[in-house]
Amino acid sequence: MTRRIPFEQLPDHDWRSRAGAVIPGGSSTGSKRPAALYGSRAHDAAVPSHFERANGCRIWTTDGREFIDCGMALGAVGIGYADPDITRAVQDAAATGPVSSLPHTLEVEVAERLCSVIPCAERVRFLRTGAEATAAAVRIARTLTGRERMVACGYFGWLDWNSDAEGVPAAVRSSVTWVPFGDVPALEAAVRQGTPPAAIIIEPLVHDVAPLPWLQAARRLADEQQALLIFDEVKTAFRVRTGGVQALTGITPDLTTVGKAMANGYPLAAVVGRASAMDAVMQTWISSTAAAEATGLAAANAVLSWHERVDVCDRMATAGGVMQEIVGSALIEAPWVGVRVEGPPMMWRLTADVPEQLDALVAAAAREGVLLKRGAYQFGAVAHDDDALDVLARAMPAVMESLMPGPRRVGD
């Protein structure tokens, strides 16, 4: 629990200073920068910046404080931190040499298992990150069709093909036509305008699971244009269903990218799809020395075994739903906070019309030993047990009280 000593005396501040001196923004992961985690409250003395160990759904920071984590490594950890089965599998892989001049047998085994649980999967190519896998899917589509234009909706990572960030050539940006989530007429217009696209690429869950008519339209339009349909299921596979949103809705894409919870936080991703599309990999070049390093594969193998033994996705949704109800009910009873809970239970989000109100909530929760993610998403995990949910429930009244108008404001 939170130590009752002045927050400004906690050693976490030394780590913040050291990180800021050598790492631009303070973290190599954009969403873990203090400014991203806490917004206008990034300099609040109470908010933690670094952790030393994690177990289950709890993390311990550099100053010895214990937190219930609601963000679970941006959704990368679905079972729980340091799960014994997964840890043992990773240790075994590391002890036997995770890379060599030959591919590891786990590459074959995990690929076979992915083909058995993801509806569109007949072939698999492994990579390390979701952004890499999605860029690979785009290159496969362009190779197969001989076209360049993409029609897109969602967030697909930081790589050039989909980014409007500084440093990305204008010619690269112009090759993607963006459409709003769930809007069938806009999708139809975007696909049919100009040159035929190589693919329609979408995240099938953003604020909520995509409307079925929109997914059906994407499938129909891709077939009509002889383009590929790509689902980015990096966040949703092994969470909404083991096989992703496509297993929930019955709409099967040509290619799918997966990652995050597939390996419970270990670096592994994949692009999977029907054989006739995936075989285009051999006409282009998609390769990485560490693509099939065995510790990530071992983690994924153990996660797949978890999904065979237990309805992991149901447990994630149940835990996430309880978390959502606890926080949502507290916010309804405290309208002065100005924050709302929205989205499906397995990956819900906090929204506010005034960003500073959301920042204040997150900082107040940190003071009470709870890590909430600003905005999207809060992720339920198997490790969110009754004890953890009880801690969350007991913390919320104090959080809301600390945000009441008047002299007791967090950060004052």
User: Helical H runs in 1-156?
Assistant: 12-22, 34-38, 84-95, 105-117, 130-145
Q: Report pLDDT digits (tens) over 126-168.
A: 999 999 999 999 999 999 999 999 999 999 999 999 999 999 9
Per-domain residue ranges for the chain?
1-78+346-390, 84-309
- Residue 92: which residues within 8 A CB-CB, separation 6 or more? 298
User: Helical H runs in 196-311?
Assistant: 212-224, 245-249, 275-278, 294-309
- Residues of the chain scoring pLDDT < 50: 1-3, 408-412
Distance CA 163, CA 134 (A): 13
Distance CA 259, CA 88 (A): 20
pTM of the model: 0.94
Distance CA 351, CA 344 (A): 14
**Confidence at residue 13, expressed as pLDDT on a 0 to 100 scale:** 78
Three-state DSSP class for 198? coil
Q: Which CATH superfamily is domain 1-78+346-390 in?
A: Aspartate Aminotransferase, domain 1 (3.90.1150.10)
Q: Report pLDDT digits (tens) over 232-250.
A: 999 999 999 999 999 999 9
Distance CA 299, CA 265 (A): 9
Nearest partner of 147 among 103, 177, 117, 178, judged by Cα:
177
Fold of 84-309: Aspartate Aminotransferase; domain 2 (3.40.640)
